């Protein structure tokens, strides 16, 4: 009995150590520094922000929230999470962050205060962001009007509300696998792949999730556990049903080849992101989605 008591005590101590010292540190290291030679361009950063859908997620348009001030609710199987303030406000936004703080947040989901972000923030896709794009984004958000708005706490039951356990989730599911579909023969990410899988983070909604919210199955083949509980169609196998022009036009006006119009979350994507992309970028997206499966 005494031996069992000691073993129980050791297990408890190990559990406490894991909770307080290991889980919070997962995903916080290994992010390379942005070279000082990389200088951000705010104008280009505005376009990257558009391609990344920052406005749609970080603006509570339904309640007439100010641009990028956060507060938009996202209903998940684990509870409701609210987007954060990414204006230039130094106290409640990201105005006081360094460009390296910004890169760590985007690519690893860790705040300057060393807290994990919930994976509704698509850092599993942004893990592949180029340093120049990170610097450009930061330069752009420095020009966004500061709004003093405290981030709203998530409405989630424990243990899902406990950010320490996000470290365990990252150990299981992040960073997202590279995948043969992402990196081209030259070792570089083709423009279409970069727009779809990184900036546009389409796989976050269009790839099946496990019960714990991690990726499972083939990327971009659809998801039965989509945003706000809805089903999301796959983006593979469009050939024969959609032409490249069909896809490029759909990304502007939301009209499908059979004359129907998109609704729900995708309408926000089109209104605030893909509808504002260049014709060349929309064509690159279409070409990538129509490429033969590997």
Asked if residue 224 has pLDDT above 80, the reply is: yes
Is residue 209 assigned to a domain? no
Range from 6-15, 191-200, 230-239, 258-267 carrying the lowest mean pLDDT? 6-15
CA dihedral 150, 151, 157, 161 (to 10 degrees): -120
Asked if residue 188 has pLDDT above 70, the reply is: no
Asked if residue 20 has pLDDT above 80, the reply is: no
User: Average pLDDT over the chain, rounded to whole?
Assistant: 85
Is residue 122 assigned to a domain? yes
Q: What is the percent of the chain where pLDDT is above 90? A: 50
Range from 7-11, 76-80, 97-101, 163-167 carrying the lowest mean pLDDT? 7-11
Is residue 206 assigned to a domain? no
By the 10 Å C-beta count (0-12 exposed, 13-18 middle, 19+ buried), 276 is classed as: middle
Is the N-terminal amide bond of 159 cis, ω within 30° of 0?
yes
Pick the residue with more confidence: 274 or 176? 274
Query: Taking the CA of residue 53 as centre, how many other CA atoms within 13 Å lie in the half-sphere pointing to its CB?
Result: 26
pLDDT confidence band for 213 (50 / 70 / 90): confident
Please give the sequence-ordered ranges of beta strands (E in DSSP) within 30-115, or none if there are none. 73-76, 79-82
Contact call for residues 242 and 253 (beta carbons, < 8 A): no
Is residue 171 assigned to a domain? yes
Residue that is written with structure tokens 């505005």 in the block: 46
Per-residue pLDDT at 47 = 97
Range from 22-36, 138-152, 219-233 carrying the lowest mean pLDDT? 22-36
- What pTM did the predictor assign? 0.87
Asked if residue 63 has pLDDT above 60, the reply is: yes
**Other residues' Cβ atoms within 10 Å of the Cβ of residue 77:** 11
Count of domains in the chain? 1
Mean pLDDT of 200-204: 92
Is residue 207 assigned to a domain? no
pLDDT confidence band for 177 (50 / 70 / 90): very low
Mean pLDDT of 62-77: 92
Q: How far apart are CA 220 and CA 272, in angstroms?
A: 21
pLDDT confidence band for 27 (50 / 70 / 90): low
Is residue 162 assigned to a domain? yes
Is residue 36 assigned to a domain? yes
Range from 17-26, 207-216, 273-282 carrying the lowest mean pLDDT? 17-26
Q: What is the percent of the chain where pLDDT is above 70? A: 83
Is residue 12 assigned to a domain? yes
Identify the domain containing residue 62 by its residue range: 1-177
Per-residue pLDDT at 168 = 85
Mean pLDDT of 58-73: 93
């Amino acid at each position: 009995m005494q031996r069992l008591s000691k073993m129980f005590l050791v297990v408890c101590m190990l559990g406490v150590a894991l909770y307080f010292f290991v889980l919070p540190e997962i995903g916080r290291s290994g992010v390379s520094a942005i070279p000082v030679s990389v200088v951000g361009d705010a104008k280009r950063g505005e376009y990257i922000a558009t391609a990344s859908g920052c406005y749609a997620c970080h603006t509570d348009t339904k309640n007439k929230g100010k641009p990028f001030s956060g507060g938009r609710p996202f209903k998940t199987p684990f509870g409701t999470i609210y987007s954060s303030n990414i204006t230039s406000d130094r106290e409640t936004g990201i105005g006081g962050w360094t460009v390296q703080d910004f890169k760590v947040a985007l690519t690893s989901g860790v705040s300057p205060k060393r807290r994990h972000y919930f994976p509704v923030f698509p850092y599993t896709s942004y893990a592949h962001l180029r340093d120049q794009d990170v610097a450009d984004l930061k330069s752009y958000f420095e020009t966004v009007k500061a709004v003093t708005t405290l981030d709203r706490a998530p409405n989630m039951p424990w243990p899902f509300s406990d950010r320490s356990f996000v470290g365990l989730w990252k150990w299981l599911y992040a960073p997202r696998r590279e995948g043969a579909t992402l990196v081209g023969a030259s070792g570089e990410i083709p423009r279409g792949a970069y727009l779809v899988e990184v900036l546009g983070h389409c796989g976050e909604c269009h790839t099946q999730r496990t019960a714990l919210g991690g990726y499972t199955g083939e990327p971009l083949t659809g998801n039965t556990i989509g945003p706000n509980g809805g089903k999301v169609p796959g983006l593979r196998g469009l050939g024969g049903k959609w032409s490249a022009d069909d896809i490029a036009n759909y990304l502007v006006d939301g009209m499908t080849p059979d004359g129907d119009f998109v609704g729900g979350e995708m309408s926000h994507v089109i209104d605030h992101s893909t509808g504002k992309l260049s014709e060349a970028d929309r064509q690159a997206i279409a070409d990538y989605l129509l490429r033969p499966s590997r």
